């Protein structure tokens, strides 16, 4: 069975919930006392932090925990590509910096069907993580 592709950098997932956002123009309101109306000044295109929640299987709980520890190496590293449901979001002309990654849950469960990293019918480790990402322009 082919799974849809969910990926942050080199890490693939069974699911990746949430919606990546790219760069958008930021506006600043300019108002003056005693003057009617509001002016808007463009201050530049920037990303806003957003969150995605990942879930993936590993052969056991210890390996699931080790995988989460490796996720944390992306914090402060070079920006990466994000793919959600087979859509590579670099079409937005940006990559994504990992601001934070925190564990939601790391546990063992019986697996009746094959997963991304495990055969079916075994006890598997599951790691769920919440990622905080920020779109940054692709360097030119």
74, part of any domain:
yes
1, part of any domain:
no
118, part of any domain:
yes
77, part of any domain:
yes
Question: Which residues lie across from 16 on neighbouring strands?
Answer: 54
Q: Answer whether 17's CB lies under 8 Å from 8's CB.
A: no
108, part of any domain:
yes
DSSP helix/strand/coil, 57 = strand
Alpha-carbon distance 135 to 114, whole Å? 33
- Domain extent, residue 30, equals 7-137
Q: Work out how many domains the chain is built from and give that number.
A: 1
Q: Answer whether 1's CB lies under 8 Å from 124's CB.
A: no
26, part of any domain:
yes
pLDDT, residue 1, reads 44
Instruction: Give the pLDDT means over successive 10-residue stretches in the chain (140 positions).
Output: 80 95 92 90 93 94 94 96 94 96 92 72 88 92
88, part of any domain:
yes
């Amino acid at each position: 069975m082919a799974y849809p592709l969910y990926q942050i950098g080199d890490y693939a997932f069974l699911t990746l919930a949430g919606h990546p956002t790219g760069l958008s123009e930021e506006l600043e309101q300019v108002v003056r006392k005693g003057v009617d109306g509001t002016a808007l000044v463009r201050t530049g295109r920037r990303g806003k932090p957003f969150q995605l929640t990942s879930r993936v299987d590993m052969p056991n709980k210890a390996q699931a925990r080790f995988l989460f520890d490796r996720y944390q190496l992306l914090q402060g590293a070079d920006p990466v590509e994000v793919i959600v449901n087979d859509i590579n979001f670099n079409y937005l002309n940006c990559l994504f910096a990992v601001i934070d990654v925190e564990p939601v849950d790391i546990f063992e469960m019986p697996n009746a069907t094959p997963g991304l990293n495990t055969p079916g019918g075994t006890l598997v480790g599951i790691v769920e993580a919440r990622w905080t990402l920020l779109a940054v322009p692709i360097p030119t």
